[in-house]
Structure formats: C-alpha cells, structure tokens
A and B are shown apart, each in its own frame.
Chain A
Amino acid sequence: MKRLLSTFAIAGAFGLCAVSAQAAKLDQVKSKGFIQCGVSQGLPGFSTPDDKGNWTGLDVDFCRAVAAAVFNDPTKVKFTPLSAKDRFTALQSGDIDILSRNTTWTITRDTSLGLNFTGVTYYDGQGFMIRKDKKVNSALELSGASVCTQTGTTTEQNLADYFRANNMTYEVIAFATNDEVVKAYDAGRCDVLTTDRSGLAGERLKLTNPDDHVVLPEIISKEPLGPVVAHGDDQWFDIVKWVLFAQINAEELGVTSKNVDEQLKSATNPEIKRLVGTEGKFGEGMGIGNDWAYQVIKGVGNYGEMYDRNVGPATPLKLERGANALWTKGGQQYGMPIR
C-alpha cells in the first residue's frame, strides 16, 4: 500500500508541477544549488552507499561529472535511491534531474515514456547466474528452472523472449528491489538469478559464498546502459550528453585528472585545447562555463578512470573493458567531436 501511495503521489505530481515543466532545467538546478540524481538502491560498482553514507560507483560518478560541469564542483549532487519500478515516474514528475541508474536504452522508453537517453556509459548484456553444484554449463539447459529477477525491468521481458524462443519453460519470481532478489536467490527460492552481466558481477558479491556461483556464458540481449533526462528541455539534454562525450574524448586524447592542469597550460594539440576550453567557447552554447570539460576531468576524471575506479579489473567486480573499450582499441566507446 505504501508503494502504491508513493507512486500515486508521484503521478499526482504531474498535476502539481505545472510550472516546473516550463522553466529551464539549468536555471532550476542553478537556483537550487545542486543536481538531484536518481540512482539504484545499491548495486556495487554502479551506485552503492559505503558505511559512511557516501555514494560510490560509475552511475554516481557520472552525476558528479555533470555537477562539475554546471557548478565547477563535483560534490553538488544529491542522490535519490530508486527502485527499477519507480525510476521513470520520478524523472517524469521532475523529482530528479538526471536518472543515472543502469537503465537500458530502448525505443519504448525513448519515445513514449517522455524520456531522452543521453548516451551509453556501459555496454552490457543480460546473463544468468547459477549455483555451481547444479552442474549447468549453458543457459540452454535451464528449462524448468525458477528464475529470480527485479520487477519493472527489460530483464523480465528478455527472459520471457529467450525461454519462449528456445521452447523452454520457466517460473519467474519478480521482486521490487535488488536486495530482495539476491536474498531469495541466496535462500534457494530460485535456481537462477538473471540481470545484466555487470549487475550479476555486483550482486554476486552480496551472496553468502560468492565462489559457489557461476555466470553462464550466454548473453541473451543488448543492454546499453546510460543516463536519462526528461523530454522537453534540449539545453539540459545537451549538457548531460556532452559531459559523457567529453569524458570519452579525454580518455582518447590521454587527458586525465592528474595531467589536466598541465594540459591546460601547455597543450599544443588543438583538440585538447578545445576540450579543456583554452580554445573555442563551447560551454557558452550550453549556458555553462567554457572550462566545463576541464572541471569534469579535474573533478571526476575521464571515462577510463571512471571505469577502472568503479568496475574495472582492479575492483572486486573485475569487469574487462570489452565492448566498453574506446573505439580506437576495438571497443564501442566513441566520443562525438568537440569542435
């Protein structure tokens, strides 16, 4: 009932937030002094609060990067933990300014939910995790299995598609939050846990004996995960979009949080000069400072730094770059040119 009421309150906010839709998001954000960022309720590597209440993760860092671009200060962000089910309503009603919550870019969401995807922070695909002692080597051996997943996700539909396409039966148990999914899987309620493979890597860490579980090789879907803003404000859309492109370009140009000050003073490469703002006035076009990208790199780092810090091979998640490597290194991350 509480959940129903809160959803209704959010739905009701459509009616009450009449004025907010008209005023420019950037002005609103500037006047309140921080960015309200919607994140997941706790997914290691992407957004999870540590024991001191500080949020860490790739999705969290991206919001900090936007704050750095707007306020020259990456700490001017407040985080709203959202379940998969409540995330879009929160964005549609203006409760949050950016949704940065391992959300898959799909045509329905982009076109009829009133949302705009600004790019891809993580190229992912859905996978399955199972206990090693079940002795299953392939997802095609899963017929008849009980599967735990989170409600209100693309995961739920991909799962149905995959089992239907391969003529296999299954039983789905859908929970509202990640934690409930993990708890039920750990208690043996279901044979299989399914979500994006990056999520499996994170959730595995929460299990009683992480080493007893194995991720099956099949990737059953494309899950481009990225930040989302609401329809209707192109300026804000541009800012969020270009913060990510700036981070990817910075990695490609070898500009990092450690050498960016030096680059600002002594760079000769015109691409770097345009990136850090010593040449051209690209920030002005978006209504923010011309050193916006410098602030992003200085405050949060380039895309590679952000990746390595949160989900890369040196972290407990141990995720290789794979599709998330730069396009120059055989991956798909490609920053649009700043010029």
Chain B
Amino acid sequence: MSDLVLEPVQGRSNSASFINDPKVRSIGLQLVALILVILLGWMFAENARDNLAAQKIATGFGFLDNTAGFGISQTLIPYSETSTYGRAFLVGLLNTILVAVVGIFLATIIGFLVGIGRLSKNFVVRLISTTYVEVLRNLPPLFQILFWYLAVLSAMPSPRQSISVFGEVFISNRGLIIPRPLFGEGTGLVLWAFGAALLAVILIGYWARGRREETGQRFPMLWVGLGILVLVPLAAMIYTGFPITFERPELKGFNFAGGVRVIPEFVALTVALATYTAAFIAENVRSGIMAVSHGQTEAAHSLGLRNGQTLRLVVIPQAMRVIIPPLTNQYLNLTKNSSLAVGIGYPDLVAVFAGTSLNQTGQAIEIIAITMGVYLVLSILTSLIMNAYNKRIALVER
C-alpha cells in the first residue's frame, strides 16, 4: 500500500521542479506584473510630458500661488478675488467637507429612523418608510439635487418679500439669514465659564454612573447637567455685562447686509444628499436589525424590558456589527456625490478647483491629480474612523 502514498514535492532539487514550486512561481509572476505596471505608468508619464511640451502647455504646481481673480459665494475662511488659487482650493475643500459632515449627520439620523420604521408593527409607519426607501433610492441623485434646488428656490420669495421670523431671521430665495454674533470684551471669560461647566457636567456624569452601578440609585443627570450648562455661563455673562451681541441682518439695496447667511445651494445639496443616502442607510439598518435573532428580543422582554429599551439596549448594539461596514460605504458615497454640486452652483471642491481654476489655468493634470488625491484621502480617513469604531464594538469571542 505504501507505493500509493504521494511523495512530498519538497526536497527535490532538479530545475524542473524549481519552476513548478508554487511559492517561487507566485513571487516570480508578481514581480513580472509589478515591472509591467511600473513600465506602463512610466510610459504614460513620459508620453503625457512629451505631448504637453509639444503643445507648449505649462506644467507644474507653481500656479497655486497665482491670483485667482474670481469670486466664490460661500467661503468658510477669508477669501477675496485677490487670493491665490491655493486659497481657492482650500475654500472649495472646506465647502465639500461641510456638506459631507452635515450630510452624513442628517443621513444617519433619517436612515436609522426610516430603517427602524420599516420593521414597525404600525402599518402606516411601515408604509411611509417603505415608500420613502423605494422612491428615493431609485431616482438619480443629480435629479434629486436639481429638484430640491428648483423646488426650494421657486417656493421662496424675493429678498424684499422675505419671510421674517420675529424680525430677526429672514428666509428668501437668497437663503436663510440669521443674526451674526459679535464678540465684545469679556467674551473670553464667558467661554471659559462654559468650558468649566462642560467639564463639571462630564465629571458629575462619571460619578453618577459609578454610584448607579454600585448602589442602583438614579441621579437626575439631565436636569442637573442642563442647569449647570445654562446657569454658569449666564452668571459670567451678567458679570461681564453681556459682551456677546448680535448683528441684525438688514435689507440694503438688493440684498441683506450683515448676519450669517446659509445659501440655498447648500440647503438643496445637503438635503438632497442626506435624504438620498438615508434611503440606503435605512436598508442597512433594517438588515442589521433582522440579523439579530428574535430570541434576543424575547429574552429582553422576559427580563421586563419595554419595547424601546429592548431596541436601544439589546437589539441595536448587536445590529451595529452588521450595520457599520455597509454604513461606511454610504458615508463614502455621500462624500463623493457631493461633487454633483456643480449642477446647482454650490462652490464645492470640484466646482471651484476642478472647474473654475482648471479652466483658467489649464493645468488639467495637476488639478485633477490634486482633486483625486483629496477624495482619496477623505475616503480613507472616513474608512479608518469607521473601522476603528467597528473594531471597538465588534463581538468579543471567547
């Protein structure tokens, strides 16, 4: 019988078996592939350089220091027409990040509510949630952005006829205008007081939790915390004589002067992206909840937990393990879809940098490379944060 046993392949030293060695073969093939990729990349780069030189197209990143000479409607950092292209890039980048952060925040809330709603025992809630998901995820996002933009715009009156809320907040087709806080002398003390109050609340929270775990006694954390957060800064305000005042928006000529303005492009883009992405998140949440065995719910009920508590303390924490990985994808999609902003004139990175700046400087390769780099970095950062969170809540197997 022993002649039926296969001889181990290792140990032979003739050349034929060396080529057949799977380890050697795989390393060899990978090396060849790597060399081919490098050669191809080098060829592309050389080719592009030669063609650019032949057409006398300027190259390099020096253009970032040139004066941009165009205006931008929403700037989170100081920017004027005399700023550089580099500055315009930062303005666009921050506008993109703003939409991404606010959009992700809203999408997560809406997505969880709708996702849970799809599993509700209430027929009407279930129907609304299902309709929401089926309608929003099946329409192209650009279409939804345009819909929101034109719907929001056409519903809004002109600045002169704007809707006024107590004469302080104004809504018109130029956006939502609220008073701008002005920080006078003594603001520092108020901010310090607020910081101290926040720290105190956190510390009391830890103490209250420790006490509850030891003795089972509850502490009215919500009311005490709110009280400290309001009263301490208020006392500081009174002491310093109310240093924080508000600049009221006033109708001047064509538009409102003063105040802080939220432009309609931002509202339309954020709402459209948040509601669109929420439809996908809702499905992730539904699948996550359905992945938790019904036995868990029954067990929780038998311990005397109510429905809300069961969902919050037992089902959702377990569902999160299933929800997080696809949720990360949705966050990435939202960030990338924000580049559709150019359709409605919101000055995001693609509109300001890969649009206007590219066109004025003609530095297509450099600008597209930078823009792709930015989206790559944003995506990788989002993934890293989400993966870290995923690791923290992952099931600990013993």
> Which residues of A come within 8 Å of B, CB atoms?
1-4, 7-8, 10-11, 14-18, 21, 84-85, 88-89, 92, 108-109, 111-114, 134, 142-146, 148, 151-153, 156-157, 159-161, 163-164, 170-176, 180, 183-184, 187-189, 191, 230-232
Contact = CB atoms under 8 A, between A and B. Distances in A.
**Residue of B56, B70, B81, B254 with most chain A CB atoms under a 10 A cut-off:** B254
A122 B286 CA distance: 61
A13 to B, nearest CB: 10
A190 B114 CA distance: 36
A232 B55 contact: yes
Contacts of B253: 143-145
Given A18-B50, A152-B359, A159-B71, A187 B255 contact: no
A77 to B, nearest CB: 23
Interface of B: 44-45, 47-48, 50-52, 54-58, 69-73, 81-82, 142, 150, 153-154, 158, 173-174, 252-255, 257, 264-265, 336-337, 339-340, 342-345, 347, 350-351, 354-356, 358-360, 362, 364-365, 368, 371-372
Contacts of B257: 144
Contacts of A184: 153, 344-345
Closest 4 CB pairs of A and B: A152-B359, A114-B55, A113-B362, A114-B57
Contacts of A109: 362
A91 to B, nearest CB: 10
Which among A109, A151, A160, A191 has the greatest number of chain B C-beta atoms within 10 A? A151
B362 A15 contact: no
18 contacts: A3-B339, A4-B372, A7-B368, A11-B365, A92-B57, A114-B57, A151-B342, A152-B359, A157-B360, A159-B70, A160-B71, A176-B342, A176-B355, A184-B345, A187-B150, A187-B153, A188-B153, A191-B254
Query: Which of A10, A109, A187 has its CB near the most chain B CB atoms (within 10 A)?
Result: A187
B252 A144 contact: yes
Contact of A17 (B51, B150, B254, B372): B51
Contacts of A17: 51
Nearest to B372: A8
A144 B350 CA distance: 26
B362 A174 contact: no
B350 A3 contact: yes
A88 B359 contact: yes
A183 B149 CA distance: 11
A11 B364 contact: yes
Nearest to A88: B362
B354 A7 contact: yes
